[in-house]
Amino acid sequence: MTDLGDTVLIVDDQPGTLELLTDTLEREGMTALVAISGQGALDLLAKVEPHVILMDAQMPGLDGFETTRAIKQMPGREHIPVIFMTGLAETQHVVKGLAAGGVDYVTKPVVLDEMIARIRVHLANARATQGARAALDAAGRSLLALDDGGRLLWSTPRAEEILADLFEDGRLILSDALAGRLLSMRGTADSRSRLSLGDRQLDFQYLAPVRAGESLYRVTESRPGAREAVLKDRFGLTAREAEVLLWLAAGKSNQDIADILGNSAATVKKHLLQIYSKLGAENRATAAAMAVQILAELG
């Protein structure tokens, strides 16, 4: 497969502008893709994923603002940085472009060196963001980011797995009530909200703002016996051993565990000896640490 390097989609209805920008990008070692209309850009984005989009603000049919809003609704394309190109220097048009989802703008006639510099900055930012998300994905973290309107900006595969019942056509669908609850959590440390889906309980925790207009949340699933089942399967434990290990990971003493499970402390101690053997753990601290690490993968 040929490596196309950094790929930039240019959306503009002026042939002269397209030719100038294409030549400039290719001299810089980038691959230029071209769309001469907003709809053409959307059709192309259904097939390819550029690294950056240069968007003309004024075009017949779908203008740049409408096209960008549509891109931000496309699953798998919403993260692509959009740089507006406009001859309209008035503040309201700049604000409109940023509100539509653009990350930056350049004014026409385009100063080519400035444009290339801005493209490289946003390429670097996009790589850093994608790298961080890839690390979160690899760690199995169940995280998602919402914009100021409660729309999904991105999520890790683990979060998508947990929220599968809330996805429709690849897009997270939150009720107005839930979206409002999640947005109201912002700015409050360790704020949480719970959603019931049948026998499942989903807990949303607000973590922090990622950047302006982007808030980060963790989602975890609470299903009776789910955590015990993970420990049982991962370490080859009996159901009772998994229960004991779960409470051990929660910092409970042998007597506490005995009281919770209705056993004697001596019985709990016997279970722990079996748990240590199966985990290859030397003591309760090591076993607890191993269990905490596994449980952390649940989000």
Residue 107 to residues 38, 61, 202, 207: CA-CA distances in angstroms? 19, 21, 46, 37
In terms of domains, do 240 and 155 share one?
Answer: no
- Indicate whether 109 and 17 sit together in one domain: yes
Residue with tokens 């931000």: 72
Cα separations in angstroms, 57 against 45, 65, 82, 236: 18, 6, 11, 60
Number of structural domains the chain divides into: 3
Domain presence at residue 193: yes
Same domain for 52 and 131? yes
Q: Would you state the pLDDT for residue 170?
A: 62
What's the pLDDT score for residue 175? 78
Residues 53 and 165 in one domain: no
User: Residue 135: what pLDDT?
Assistant: 45
Query: In terms of residue numbers, what domain contains 216?
Result: 140-222
pLDDT at 273: 94
pLDDT at 89 (0 to 100): 61
Query: Residues 27-72: pLDDT tens digits?
Result: 998 889 999 999 999 999 988 888 899 999 889 999 999 999 999 8
Q: Are residues 191 and 215 in the same domain?
A: yes
pLDDT at 214: 83
CA distances (Å), 91 to each of 88, 107, 196, in order? Answer: 8, 12, 45
Confidence (pLDDT) at 230: 84
Walk across the sheet containing 200-211 and list its strands: 152-155, 143-146, 214-222, 200-211, 192-197
What CATH number does residue 260 fall under? 1.10.10.10
Q: Is residue 83 part of a domain?
A: yes
What pLDDT shows up at residue 217?
86
Residues of the chain falling short of pLDDT 70:
1-5, 88-91, 127-140, 169-171, 187-190, 198-199, 222-224, 297-299
Do 178 and 256 fall into the same domain?
no
Residues 49 and 98 in one domain: yes
Q: Which residue, of 222, 254, 275, is where some domain finishes? A: 222
